[in-house]
Amino acid sequence: MFKQLYRLPCRSTLTPLAPGSRRYFQTKRQNSLPAAYYRGGTSRAVFFKQEDLPPNKEDWAPIFRSVIGSPDPNGRQLDGLGGGISSLSKVCVVGASTHDEADVDYTFVSLGIKNTDVDYSSNCGNMSSAVGPFAVDAHLFPLQNPSPDSASVRIHNTNTGKIIHSSFPVVDGEATASGDFAIDGVAGTAARIKLDFIDPAGSVTGKLLPTGNVVDTFDATKATCIDVGNPCVFVQALDLGVSGNLTPDEITAHPDLLPRLDSIRRQAGVKMGIADETAAVPGSIPKICIVAAPSTTDSRDIERRQTSVDVDLLARALSVGQPHKAVPITVALALAAAVHVPQSTVAGVVSEDPVDGAGLTIGHASGNLLVGANFDADGALTSATVFRTARRLFEGRIYWKNDN
């Protein structure tokens, strides 16, 4: 299968740059592979079947960079399918399961935009919502009867070793795209996808509280470090001297907020055991998020439906150094868990009476999100649930060039 689908350059010629020129360049046929392009939640990614990629994982990076269009010093990724922001610079690989309790394996890859980073260190909760539909559409998950109206795919995320259950409607053997469910940050409506993250605590560090403390202090700022879905760091807007309802553009324009948050994030990454020194902390984890109590009178919060009547807290997250335009699902999962940790920075901004008894309602930069968390009798987190939408945008062959 690999030899049939992975096309190596098969023709080369020497062509002069211009009449009379003594300099030459080598032309090659582009490489290509079967691929698909999906929106998952508020992100997009190129999807590959693992069986179509080179068997050696070390050979994947140059393919992914060229497909996405990285590195691009202009930050636009015009020569690939990236979109110049972290939520659009992603690749997902889906293949046969290596886990007894899963139907498919799923590997998430985050790519740098202006640099050559190819990061396997974390999962993407938003793109997780497209994995089940891709598995059905790509015939990696066999449907149990000839004409089912729904599917439930058990997904093994290889980045974290965790299991995700994805349930969604099916029509004519494909994942349904149309529906009446809407998520903030995505225009229109689509079919609802239920994601149950099973035993999500300790995704990377093996511990709910990786530092052993509920609160640590970095750069004179109190922070709660928690590992659910992905390692996360939560700091209060009040301690940073900023408003909790800043827009992504306002966060970017602030004179020193982004460097300060990155300093806190890197120090937390070392204390969480993710890296031995701050310079070695990956760009993707830990995630860092500003939290704040919702107001009752702020005009912007009223306009956005993010007052204390509408949401339990305000959250503004960063993703690979950029303000996220919504909220990473793994950050939402960690928030839903942290609110149940007494004295945490998250619990400190949330009222005892939730606006929705089904879970935690988060006010993010593009709207609101409800996240449910389930705990056993001993208070241990057993699962967390979110609802998203996803859609296949393209399927065919994707091309890339190798200039090396």
102-152 pLDDT, tens digit per residue, is 999 999 999 999 999 999 999 999 999 999 999 999 999 999 877 789 999
Distance CA 18, CA 69 (A): 28
State the pLDDT confidence band at 14, using cuts at 50, 70 and 90.
very low
Q: Are 51 and 138 in contact (CB under 8 A)?
A: no
- Given a cut of 60, is residue 3 above it in pLDDT? no
Q: Are 251 and 258 in contact (CB under 8 A)?
A: yes
Is 251 inside any structural domain? yes
Is 206 inside any structural domain? no
For 204, the token pair is: 């990377």
State the pLDDT confidence band at 1, using cuts at 50, 70 and 90.
very low
Is 342 inside any structural domain? yes
Checking DSSP bridges between strand 221-228 and strand 150-157, what pairing results, if any? Answer: unpaired
What phi, psi does 309 have (nearest 5°)? Answer: -80, -25
What is the CATH number for 140? Answer: 3.10.310.10
- Given a cut of 60, is residue 205 above it in pLDDT? yes
Residues 197, 238 share a domain: no
Residues 196, 67 share a domain: yes
Q: How many domains does one find in the chain?
A: 2
Which amino acid, 44?
R
Distance CA 388, CA 130 (A): 9
155-204 pLDDT, tens digit per residue, is 999 999 999 999 999 999 999 999 999 999 999 999 999 999 999 999 99
- Given a cut of 60, is residue 5 above it in pLDDT? no
Instruction: Indicate whether this model's pTM tops 0.75.
Output: yes
State the pLDDT confidence band at 27, using cuts at 50, 70 and 90.
low
- Given a cut of 80, is residue 403 above it in pLDDT? no
Q: What is the overall mean pLDDT for the chain? A: 92
Distance CA 43, CA 390 (A): 9
- Given a cut of 70, is residue 260 above it in pLDDT? yes
Residues 359, 252 share a domain: yes
For 283, the token pair is: 């760009």
Q: Which of 296-300, 367-371, 400-404 is the most confident on average? A: 367-371
Distance CA 363, CA 349 (A): 13
Residues 193, 52 share a domain: yes
307-339 pLDDT, tens digit per residue, is 999 999 999 999 899 999 999 999 999 999 999
Residues 178, 277 share a domain: no
Residue 247, domain extent: 215-371
Residues 285, 185 share a domain: no
221-244 pLDDT, tens digit per residue, is 999 999 999 999 999 999 999 999
pLDDT at 145: 75
Residues 158, 42 share a domain: yes
Distance CA 344, CA 227 (A): 13
- pLDDT > 70: what percent of the chain? 93
pLDDT at 8: 45
Residues 220, 144 share a domain: no
